[in-house]
């Protein structure tokens, strides 16, 4: 079974621009979560989608948004990029019910200059 | 407010010996705990989990212990191997008590296994 895939793997953007990251979950998984990893803040939860609905949201500004499609693929968008948005963005998928492990993709390394 | 803490940022251990990683949490709503291993430039890899109805779970060389009264869990790796050198993250979930699958992560412990 193919794992979680994320595209692109690396991205360089300029302050003020916007960016869209994509995540394809493991086949059959209906839950997709997004996390941000930075050296200062560690791994932080952004949001989770299940069956095209946002089920949970972390403490991030409204510039961070996401969506999930009917095939469970998900995208996250960051508008008006700031230098502090430079991070590794990780996507994780699971079957969706609680008490099940989440499987992570390799991440997208975003650098904002 | 760090709800999940890994107080040891790094750990060095000899190959073949036991590695013990510790994790403390403050949120009593957490009832499902996971350990992940992460290599640089890769996503975290799931290792082992434990629900709050248990106090121990084993999977091969990995054993997780949960002490609910102390809000403490630990991961034991026996025997440690050089390939275990990585950053280990403890994560917690409120399970059915919260909407969704939000994981709260600790800051990580970097493990170095010396040959």
User: Are residues A45 and B103 in contact, defined by beta-carbon separation less than 8 angstroms?
Assistant: yes
Residues of B in contact with A24 (CB under 8 A): none
The closest CB to that of A107, out of B43, B91, B98, belongs to B43
Q: Quick one: what percent of chain A has pLDDT higher than 70?
A: 96
CB atoms near residue B67 (< 10 Å): 11
Residues of A in contact with B103 (CB under 8 A): 33, 35, 45, 92, 102
The per-residue pLDDT for B96 is 61
**Distance between CA A90 and CA A21 in Å, rounded?**
10
* B79: preceding bond cis by omega (within 30 degrees): yes
Flag whether pLDDT at A58 surpasses 70: yes
CB contact under 8 A, A58 and B95: no
Residues of A in contact with B98 (CB under 8 A): 56
CB contact under 8 A, A102 and B103: yes
The closest CB to that of A45, out of B32, B99, B104, belongs to B104
Question: What is the torsional sign of CA A3, A101, B37, B108?
Answer: positive
Q: What are phi and psi of A21, to 5 degrees?
A: -110, 145
Residues of B in contact with A98 (CB under 8 A): 32, 93, 95-96, 101
Q: CA A103, B85, B59 angle in degrees (round to 5)?
A: 55
Per-residue pLDDT of chain B (115 residues; tens, 9 = 90+): 689 999 999 999 999 999 999 999 999 989 899 999 999 888 999 999 999 999 999 999 999 999 999 999 999 999 999 999 999 999 999 876 665 678 999 999 999 999 9
Coil vs helix vs strand at B48 = strand
pLDDT in tens, A67-90: 999 999 999 999 999 999 999 999
């Amino acid at each position: 079974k193919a794992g979680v895939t994320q595209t692109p793997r690396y991205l360089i953007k300029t302050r003020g621009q916007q960016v869209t990251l994509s995540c394809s979950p493991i086949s059959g998984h209906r839950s997709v979560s997004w996390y941000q990893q930075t050296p200062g803040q560690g791994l932080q939860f952004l949001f989770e989608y299940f069956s095209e609905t946002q089920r949970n949201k972390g403490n991030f500004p409204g510039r961070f948004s996401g969506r999930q499609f009917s095939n469970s693929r998900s995208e996250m968008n960051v508008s008006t990029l700031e230098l502090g948005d430079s991070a590794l963005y990780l996507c994780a998928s699971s079957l969706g019910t609680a008490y099940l492990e989440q499987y992570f993709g390799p991440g997208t390394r975003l650098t904002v200059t | 407010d760090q709800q999940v803490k890994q107080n040891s940022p790094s750990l060095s251990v000899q190959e073949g010996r036991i590695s013990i990683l510790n994790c403390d949490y403050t949120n009593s709503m957490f009832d499902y705990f996971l350990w992940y291993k992460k290599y640089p430039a890769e996503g975290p890899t799931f290792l082992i989990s434990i629900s709050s109805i248990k106090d121990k779970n084993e999977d091969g060389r990995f054993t997780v212990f949960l002490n609910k009264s102390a809000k403490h869990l630990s991961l034991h790796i026996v025997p440690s191997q050089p390939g275990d050198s990585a950053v280990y993250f403890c994560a917690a979930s409120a399970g059915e008590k919260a909407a969704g699958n939000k994981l709260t992560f600790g800051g990580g412990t970097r493990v170095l296994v010396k040959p």
